[in-house]
Amino acid sequence: MASNQQTRPGIGELAKDTASGRIGVVMGEVGGRVQIRPVGGGVEWDALPDNVVAPTAREELSARLAIKNGNSRDGL
């Protein structure tokens, strides 16, 4: 049987916290919460597992472009 349920992104993958609308990289899971770090780095935030989904293709592209733009500003 096919399932319509999406799997939650794993460690190192981009994820969207639907409660805040923020996109970041999954860093781990502790105490029943998913830790997500902003794409450009910074302080992780906790999200409820039910609120963590894979970003849409457009959201992922936007996040990856933000990384590239930041790197070019920093001379990387």
From the list 4, 33, 75, the residue with the least C-alpha distance to 15 is: 33
**According to the model, what pLDDT value does residue 3 have?**
43
Q: Is the pLDDT of residue 70 over 80?
A: no
Rounded to 5 degrees, what are φ and ψ at 29?
-140, 125
Q: Report the C-alpha gap between 19 and 50 in whole angstroms.
A: 10
Burial code (b: 16+ CB inside 10 Å, e: under 16) for 41-56 equals eeeebebeeeebeebe
Q: What is the mean pLDDT of the segment spanning 7-18?
A: 93
Q: What is the mean pLDDT of the segment spanning 42-60?
A: 95
Average pLDDT, the chain: 88
Q: Is the full-model pTM beyond 0.85?
A: no
Q: How many CB atoms lie within 10 A of CB 3?
A: 6
